[in-house]
Structure 1
């Protein structure tokens, strides 16, 4: 290794052209985040999404459990290794008739232990109008799941916020009318 003069009276070491520069940790974090395979959220409802929802009857909404949970991936470049773990934070539902619902978790699947008239304890909506005038006579319902990624590696930690995965489907909403005979 040669010596280079410096102006402060000290001698500086000449860089070795064969020596590798360490990769910045941000580059490895980006690679680890790119390797995350975040699932597309699968929409579930009660009444079942394959049947009509009913005006003024609570609709329970949830994201299928297999699409809600931590996902991890790692990347290593030139000895710098980073592990990234994404966790879903919230689900924002666009209901189709103009409403929006924000749920802090995946929602609760409906069970027969609940009354059909009971609203969901954490993620539901009650339609006010039928979807008859909507395209294909159905509302487009979408859910945007926001994920935050925590990473660690090379003696550092950090967060990459706000990755989003979206799912959607059509929901028919019908109005039930009662006929009273005398």
Structure 2
């Protein structure tokens, strides 16, 4: 009769979590079409068993406008309280592969998230959990590592977000690996199980937005008390998309995060300046552009988006900072979708301001 009790203990502060790579050993893998969880569907599998393919917790594939080599992108969230997920649970191994790792390479398996390198009685207890049905109040046990269900699901394990600076937060997904049937959602007691919303947040974290270099008239050199027009053309300033996806046997989800430019903020780089409008924030036009290009004959008009310097920059320059606000939304597998906090990204460009009493243009 299996022992049932609660398993809500921290098994070690030096726990290791899985890396993002995929290690494929020799031998056949599943050849069936994966499905997303939550749709009630199952997966036809063929071509052998997945006991020869080890997924390091389902490597996430990024595409679109994303930073290289898994780096964090250049988007800054407008919500200081918003952060991407520090860790999550994702598909790890099929039943036979998990048994093989636990029985033939247990020294390595002990470092699986939730195992945490523990030894002695705790290690024996964890082995019994997968071999003999030993369980806890909220974590049922397994018989012979669920090998009779090989091909019908996968064990899931925790993954650290390598871009999360807080070590304890990264290690929070430390529950023992758990079984999820193909086409089924992970148990509700694992709210950090990977899902489209988490992928959308990770796509946001890795998104790379284009440089924000506004067109100025006059260009890099302007005059004191002369209105300087600023604008961004729609043709050079479009929506940006980033996609994060997981595709392993029995599990296939993705989410695409879209950034749409909605406003431009101008910061002259000195207090001796005025902005148009006074807030310095230029909203997007109906055609997707921002501001209005200068045209001959408008020198006496106030630009809808621009600025005016009131003092010369002397022998140096002012650092005009142009920051774009982007509205962030996402769509994902199964028709999921929603909004994420606005993002911002900007850069600086040098402006020389000369002291000239009269200017004709």
Q: Aligned residue for 2:346? A: 166
Q: Select which of 284, 292, 300 maps to 1:108.
A: 292
Distance 1:79 1:86 in 2: 24
Q: Please point out which of 301, 306, 321 is paired with 1:118.
A: 301
What is the CA distance between 1:27 and its match in structure 2?
2.5
- What stretches of structure 2 of length at least 5 have no aligned partner? 1-131, 155-179, 181-185, 187-193, 285-289
Give the counterpart of 2:329 among 132, 141, 150.
150
Aligned to 2:217: 46
Give the alignment's Cα RMSD to 1 decimal. 2.9
Structure 1 runs not aligned, ≥5 long: none
| Matching of residue 130 in structure 1 with residue 312 in structure 2 | yes
Greater helix proportion: 2
1:147 offset after TM fit, Å? Answer: 1.2
Q: What are the superposed Cα offsets for residues 24-48 of structure 1, whole Å, 9 maximum, x if unpaired?
A: 2232113332453310111221012
Q: Verify the 8 A CA contact 1:59 1:126 in the aligned structure 2.
A: yes
Structure with greater strand share of residues: 1
What is the count of residue pairs matched by the alignment?
166
Using the alignment, how far apart are the partners of 2:223 and 2:322 within structure 1? 20
After superposition, the C-alpha distances for 1:67-115 in whole angstroms (9 at most, x for unaligned) are 5221122222141121221101211111122256111122222122x42
Q: 1:57 aligns with which of 218, 226, 229?
A: 226
Q: Match for 1:24 among 195, 207, 213?
A: 195
Contact preservation (8 Å) 1:57, 1:117: no
For residues 347 and 243 of structure 2, the distance between their equivalents in structure 1, rounded to whole angstroms, comes to 26
Partner Cα distance (1:162, 1:171) in 2: 28
Which structure has more relative contact order (CA 8 Å, sep 6+)? It is: 1
TM-score, with length taken from structure 1:
0.75
TM-score normalized by the length of structure 2 = 0.41
Bigger Rg over Cα: 2
